[in-house]
Structure 1
């Protein structure tokens, strides 16, 4: 039988995974559009954009997203 995550564990995992996916996709796309494919593209993307963006997106996911969810829930029908 597989062990399931608790509600708190699932929120933490979800926030990390969404932060990684969004940061990776957005920084990759924007850098590709701005600079085009170069020989050191992946290095520049990973170390100078993606990792920097993660330091911003993970705290945002844990701080801002719950406030947004609460605001949306307050105007949503039950």
Structure 2
């Protein structure tokens, strides 16, 4: 039987994976549109953009996202 994640574990894994995916896709796309493809593009993207953005997106995912969710939950009608 496979072990499932707890609620807290699933929040951590979800936040990390979303941060990685969003950082990778957005930094790749922005760099590609601004600079264009060139030799060493992947190296430049990974070390100068992706890793930097990742260090910003992970704390944002754990701090800002829950704050926004709590704010939205306060103005959302609860189902009976």
Distance 1:25 1:71 in 2: 27
Flag structure 1 segments of 5+ consecutive residues without an equivalent.
none
Structural mapping, 1:63-74, within 5 Å: 63-74=63-74
* Structure 1 stretches of 4+ moved >2 Å: none
Unaligned runs of 5+ in 2: none
Matches within 5 A, 1:12-27: 12-27=12-27
Q: Deviations over 1:18-53 (max 9, x none)?
A: 000000010000000000000110000000000000
TM-score (norm 2): 0.95
**Aligned pairs, how many?**
78
TM-superposed CA distance for 1:76, in Å, is 1.0
